[in-house]
Structure 1
Amino acid sequence: MTSLPSSVTLLRHATLVDGGRHDVVLDEGVVVAVTAAGSVPVTDPETTLDLDGWLLLTAPAEPHAHLDKALSFDLIDPPYGDLGSAILSWTTYAATMSLESIVERARTQALAMLANGITAIRTHVDVHPGAPTRGLEALGRVREELAGLIDIELVALCSTQAGDADIEAALDAGVDLVGGAPHLAEDPVAEVERLVGFAARRGLGMDLHTDESLDGPVTLDTYALAVRGLRRDRQYSAGHCVRLGSMPREELFRIIGEVRASDIGVIANPITNLYLQGWEHPTRTPRGLTALRDLIDAGVRVAAGADNVRDPFNPVGRSCAFETASLLISAGHLSPVEAWHLVSDGARSVMGLPAAGPRVGARAELLAVRAGNLLDAIANAPADRIVLHDGRVVARSELRRSIAVPAFSA
């Protein structure tokens, strides 16, 4: 494939997740028809893509990123370790970084994610005491620069050390949601109530880092009860929720019931939680994941994200939803269809985005990969990809491979 149209009206011969081959018709960024492969005549070759041999998926969305921290590992050179050591390394470095350095790393990271197929990102941005708007100004600039290529939501990650004035200043800078990490506070319940108060007064949704530990405080039930009376046209979600994976079953089911009643979306972050959790258990190390199966079976809206990428909280990461989906299968024991749902349709639901994908009436947020089926795509993460945002091609990747041919004897 040598060239691609910027706008697309027809995708021909695409393989969908169900194994069927179809033509997909687009109009102004919306899927208007899905028919048998080859049934739609080509009227404009310039806006037609032939996807014979390609798998067409709902484009993934990243529901939990930290673009202000991304790609800082080599700059910081932190020790490998748990959540506490990562926080210390990051806060020490953060006091020295400039707005421009945040912009550069965040832009690079967002574009890497876009190239891999992610067309929407929700990023948490630190509200540092004394410099509460620096990160939000940087990410606001990146969001503006990349408008039309990728959608970016901003969450004010309010430090437990940030005073009310700092938080007010951050919210004035223009954010989509109120965030924080109440389980790290001296009084976790009071911190939940403080952050919920800001959301209520501002009419904003919330996305909290919640109970990110194998043991320790539980705030998810407090959070669920606190937001039940808030505006229902806003999104409320909880990231990590690692504690759910290690608590007694009776308590687990009680809390899941509260989460379901408040329609709180839960966002798992497998790669970062597998890395950060369990350092204190040298043998029979816990997985460090939330209770995925129980949440899904209970009807909770569940998403999954990559979280940190190459920073003190996760030294690796490929900026790719196939990596997250693979971990959901191997560590979370989900099926390939369930795993892909969590990084695509599930993520979009938790983020409050319109339905997307190759089905009639959905937004044309699409990812085509050179793969035979979904498991093949997740297992191999093919480099050949075409990314459509709002019905337009916004990224394309091609792999060129050369392998020496061995001499076989007759």
Structure 2
Amino acid sequence: MPPTGARPTLIRGARLADGRAVDVSIADDLVVDVAAPGTAPVPSDSSSVLDLDGYLLLPATADPHAHLDKARSWDAIMPPMGDLRAAIVSWRAYADHMTTDDIVARAHDQALRNLSQGTTAIRTHVDVLRGPQPLRGIDALVEVRGMLRSVMDIEIIALASDDVPTETIESAIDAGADGIGGAAHLAPDPLAELDRFVAIADKRDCVLDMHTDESLDEAVTLGALAERTRGWTRNVSAGHCVRLGTLEPANRDALIAAVVDSRIGVIANPITNLYLQGWNHEVAPPRGLTAARQLLDAGARFAAGADNVRDPFNPLGRSDALETAMLLVVAAHLDVEEAFTAVSSGARDVMALPPAGPAPGAVADLLAIRAHSLIDAVADAPADRVVIHRGSVVSRSSTTLTYPTLTPSPEIAR
């Protein structure tokens, strides 16, 4: 198998999610042909051939809602569990004293963990901080983005609370952020705060990605965001949208219709919202999820992300988009194909990235995983993976399983 960094021009022996065995030809950054086995031209240089017999070949995954600046800080903070506002307080206390180097180290580590699992594009929210150096997080993620530019795409959203001045938010764009976002539903005047972000995004012509209605019982900002950005050509997203999942059907469906009409991308965050929401419900706690089924049925642009990984907002997470897909199946009742689409092509669409995967004309961002089918991949999440970004092998992982008490001891390469 070609080493990391190799640029194969032919992939042989892989199987697609529809069950077909194929040869895939790649030129530069693109897939140029998907053909029946043995029919694609074989390059004279054998090192340009990647044999993936026994692997399922899928589009690489993407995470449209991450917080790389917070990732892997749980052990340093040891925050209280299960409360969104308490998580915010504990994170802010830690963030007031963290250094740029600390953020770089944790974010770089987390991004590589995502990459090893097959994620080649991440949109990360990054806090605009309090104190004399509010752009420490932005500067750190700009540095990490540069360090990893050859192996993955990282998009930075400057995440600001209502106590951050407008000029500081704009300075984050000047420092390298690709867009802005906030949690207007947590502000004393949610609609005024939303209007502030809409005005900044309009003025600076940048991505707008809002944390929206992250609550089981308050629906304030999603409809207003749809109304205020209807007709926009720039990229607009709404993350969480938890309240949408608990609204009465008539109100829910009217709000979804407005979202579809505005072309807002909705980003579910199952692991974090399932963890944070519903702790005060002693009997039959509601699912902390948006209305995924109804959004898809209505034709909404829909994606899902891991959100927080091992920080005050979620102590767990395996940095694997297949975990997110699995939760969409068991908690949101999507089918496996819909769930995987939400963390792959659906995520890239919401992020305004070009289509990727094993299809002619698509970007050669690919995940090969040792599995027989898509349901096998999502169910078992095998660790044997080959990750390709823009035609280059950027990560490889494999496992060996042994049963030492058996005679003879079988050794199974997984």
Compared CA separation, residues 166 and 129, structure 1 to 2 (3 A)? farther
Contact 1:178 1:195 (C-alpha < 8 Å) held by counterparts: yes
- Secondary structure at the aligned position of 2:154 is classed as strand
* 2:337 alignment partner in structure 1: 337
Give the distance between the partners of 1:5 and 1:97, measured in 2 at CA. Answer: 34
Give the distance between the partners of 2:155 and 2:134, measured in 1 at CA. Answer: 18
Matched, 1:66 2:62: no
In the TM superposition, 1:389-404 aligns within 5 A as 389-404=389-404
Contact 2:208 2:235 (C-alpha < 8 Å) held by counterparts: yes
Worse-matched range after superposition: 177-186 or 1-10: 1-10
* 2:83 alignment partner in structure 1: 82
* 1:359 alignment partner in structure 2: 359
Give the distance between the partners of 2:174 and 2:105, measured in 1 at CA. Answer: 23
| Deviation at residue 104 of structure 1 after TM alignment | 0.5
Matched, 1:92 2:93: yes
Aligned length: 406
| Deviation at residue 168 of structure 1 after TM alignment | 2.4
Matched, 1:177 2:211: no
Query: What is the percentage of aligned positions where both structures have the same residue?
Result: 55
* 1:204 alignment partner in structure 2: 206
| Deviation at residue 129 of structure 1 after TM alignment | 3.1
Contact 2:118 2:367 (C-alpha < 8 Å) held by counterparts: yes
| Deviation at residue 229 of structure 1 after TM alignment | 4.3
| Deviation at residue 42 of structure 1 after TM alignment | 2.5
| Deviation at residue 38 of structure 1 after TM alignment | 2.0
- Secondary structure at the aligned position of 1:347 is classed as helix
Give the distance between the partners of 1:91 and 1:33, measured in 2 at CA. Answer: 50
Give the distance between the partners of 2:5 and 2:138, measured in 1 at CA. Answer: 34
Contact 1:188 1:217 (C-alpha < 8 Å) held by counterparts: no
Worse-matched range after superposition: 116-125 or 36-45: 36-45
Runs of 4+ in 1 over 6 A off after TM superposition: none
* 1:53 alignment partner in structure 2: 54
* 2:230 alignment partner in structure 1: 228
Contact 2:10 2:25 (C-alpha < 8 Å) held by counterparts: yes
Deviations 1:357-383 (A, max 9, x none): 000110000000000000110011111
* 2:19 alignment partner in structure 1: 19
- Secondary structure at the aligned position of 1:121 is classed as strand
| Deviation at residue 97 of structure 1 after TM alignment | 0.4
- Secondary structure at the aligned position of 2:317 is classed as coil
| Deviation at residue 2 of structure 1 after TM alignment | 7.8
* Partner residue of 1:156 out of 139, 144, 158: 158
| Deviation at residue 138 of structure 1 after TM alignment | 0.4
Q: Could you tell me the TM-score, scaled by structure 1's length?
A: 0.97
Give the distance between the partners of 1:217 and 1:55, measured in 2 at CA. Answer: 41
Give the distance between the partners of 1:4 and 1:315, measured in 2 at CA. Answer: 31
User: What's the RMSD between the two structures over aligned residues?
Assistant: 1.3
Matched, 1:347 2:313: no
* Partner residue of 2:217 out of 212, 215, 223: 215
* Partner residue of 1:132 out of 120, 131, 134: 134
Give 2:221's aligned amino acid: T
Give the distance between the partners of 1:156 and 1:5, measured in 2 at CA. Answer: 31
- Secondary structure at the aligned position of 2:26 is classed as strand
Q: Which runs of 5+ in 2 are unaligned?
A: 409-414
Q: Which runs of 5+ in 1 are unaligned?
A: none
Matched, 1:305 2:339: no
Q: Could you tell me the TM-score, scaled by structure 2's length?
A: 0.96
* 2:144 alignment partner in structure 1: 142
Deviations 1:104-127 (A, max 9, x none): 000000011111110000000001
